[in-house]
Amino acid sequence: MSESISSKGWQIAEWVFDVLFGAQHGSQNPVKLLDKCMLLELPTEILLQIFSYLPLPSQVCLVLSSKTLHRTFGSVLASKELRFSQMPRNGRTYVVTEEYNLRMALLIKLQNVRWVCCGCCQKLHPRREFSAYQRKDCRPWERICSEWAGIVDLYPCISLTLRERARIVEHLKVSEDTSLNLIKRGVLARDSHGQRLLHQCKAYSRIQIEMKLCLTESEQLTVTTCYEGPNIIALPSREVDYQMLICCSKTWLDAMIPRDKPSWSCLNCHARIKNLSSPQSNAAIAHVVRFLG
């Protein structure tokens, strides 16, 4: 009996929310809003009851719709279930979890004529950063921003947005600048001359990855990476998820298989790969240079 009452209460709460706020949040069937929000005129006890019936994404939308509601229920914005997780590599979708579904449900509610959400990085982007096909024909969780929003995956521990790359360029121009967040967090380190940013990736036990970020003479940001480890033939497939390796999965597979051709470019990520491996060796060494703009 109690479950039936809770279910009905939840439906009533959702209906109240859609009537009062649906048009503001991109509802498929927007209704005309009242000149005065009668929800705020309700007794506190009833308002608390309505709020408790709403699912978490709707609670957040309700809080964002009014300063009064924000003051009353603002703590819901800090819910750990909605926290942003690490972005997946190479545009791979998240493993679907309860947290992923909750965050996506919230972002879908927040979409409007200016903003659309991405199922890859789970953030809102300006509509212009997606192709017409992605805006109109892709379901939100199938929409991937990487190619359009300028997000570059470097390693399992580093992904750079367009703005972060711009900050790195400015940092390298002014070597005494220590305000870079990636340095403060210990992700990147400066070399002794302050002209390069260094990183050693420890995500894989049997593969050594050393990276340096620097500027060319034309002030173009480049990342040079040395991969060293067993070639793919000698390495059991269970040891490494190759699609999680950068530059892209195709580059990695090509680079770690000894071949006669000493160097080539990847058509997927435009990296320049130099293979230093011997065809007879079980070890693979590859230098990869990638221009980041």
Q: Give the model confidence (pLDDT) of 227-248 as tens digits.
A: 777 665 444 444 444 444 444 5
* CB contact set of 20 (below 8 Å; sequence gap of 6+): 33, 34, 37, 38, 39
pLDDT at 26: 47
Q: Hey, CA dihedral for 256, 259, 262, 268, is it positive or negative?
A: negative
DSSP H or E run through 210: strand 208-215
Helix (H) or strand (E) holding 197, with range, is: strand 197-201
Please choose, from the candidates 199, 93, 198, the residue with its C-alpha nearest in 3D space to the C-alpha of residue 146.
Answer: 93
Report pLDDT for 108. Answer: 92
Instruction: Report whether 189 contacts 169 (CB < 8 A).
Output: no
Instruction: Work out the average pLDDT over 153-171.
Output: 77
**Mean pLDDT throughout 180-193?**
76
Which pTM was predicted?
Answer: 0.50
Q: Which two tokens stand for residue 184?
A: 């403060």
Each residue of 59-86: pLDDT tens digit? Answer: 998 888 888 888 889 899 888 888 765 5
Whether 268 shows a pLDDT value over 70: the answer reads no
Asked if pLDDT for residue 27 goes beyond 70, the answer is: no
